[in-house]
Amino acid sequence: MYNCICVQCGTQFAESAQPPPSCPICEDERQFVRLDGQQWTTLERLAADHHNRLEDEAPQLLGIGSEPEFAIGQRALLLQSPGGNLLWDCISLLDQKTIAEVKESGGIRAIAISHPHFYSSMIEWAERFDSQIFLHAADRQWVMRKSPRIQFWEGTTLSLWDDLTLANCGGHFEGGTVLHWPAGASGTGALLTGDIITVVQDRRYVSFMRSYPNLIPLGPAAIQRILETIEPFPFEQIYGGWWKANVSSDAKAAVTRSAERYLRAIASAGNYG
């Protein structure tokens, strides 16, 4: 018996004697099965030729990503807060070196994840650090390895400690969640977004998609819902799902101007034909 990890999306599955027949997350229209078919690995095999890099993305915000890049290539963020550390998003690889380094940084009180593409090996992390996991209940069906450590929350917001707040924006996934960190950006506030609000190559802008690899846009109602959900929160910076994919200043205005540009682009009578 072992826990398979999907090579394409990095999701770890429940223990089984045989690899699962398919990966529902990759079969979904928001992801894809790789050209040479479904492939699986395990944590042990992954650790044999990958390691994690830990590097500060900002003060009190430690990035954790795998090298060479694995699956979707995201980096998680260990948010260090007086009331306890929150691991925002997650990655597939957890090895002894990472465990030691994260312990040195204060461990993990809880894990919160933006959406199913980053569920990865969350149960391994939660068990190793004795933490609970906050996931939005609307994405319950995408959990491939169940655990009593998962706490499904409902509604628009969930308050954690130190005024950290999870907010359900929907969009890319119905349960799509962002994290507001009021102490971030030197006390002016930061939003941690995964790709629920994704920071694009021009880091003065963000974008929003149902599927990034398959280029399926969102409609006006979904964009409006994202804007309304984040409206109550002040934030100067955004930390997206990948290394250095951050908006470093004026981030709330960046979301507004990005949404306006997006809505113009998808409007049938828009400026972009």
Neighbours of 186 (CB within 10 A): 11
Q: For binding to Zn ion (CB under 5 A), which residues are involved?
A: 6, 8-9, 23, 25-26, 117, 195
CA nearest to 267, candidates 219, 235, 229, 230: 219
CB of 85 to Zn ion, least distance (A): 24
Q: Which residue, 8 or 246, is less far from Zn ion as judged by CB?
A: 8
Q: How far is CA 83 from the centre of its chain?
A: 22
Q: Which residue, 11 or 131, is less far from Zn ion as judged by CB?
A: 11
CB of 28 to Zn ion, least distance (A): 9
Give the tokens for residue 26.
């990759």
**Could you give the residue ranges of the DSSP H alpha helices within the chain?**
24-27, 43-49, 96-104, 122-129, 184-187, 220-230, 251-266
CB of 251 to Zn ion, least distance (A): 20
- Residues 6 or more apart whose Cβ sits within 8 Å of residue 81: 60, 161, 162, 164, 181, 183
Asked if residue 79 lies in contact with residue 112, where contact means CB atoms within 8 angstroms, the answer is no
Q: Which residue, 193 or 258, is less far from Zn ion as judged by CB?
A: 193
CB of 6 to Zn ion, least distance (A): 3
Q: Which residue, 23 or 77, is less far from Zn ion as judged by CB?
A: 23
Q: Which residue, 6 or 76, is less far from Zn ion as judged by CB?
A: 6
Directed axis angle between helix 220-230 and helix 251-266, to 10°?
A: 170
CB of 173 to Zn ion, least distance (A): 7
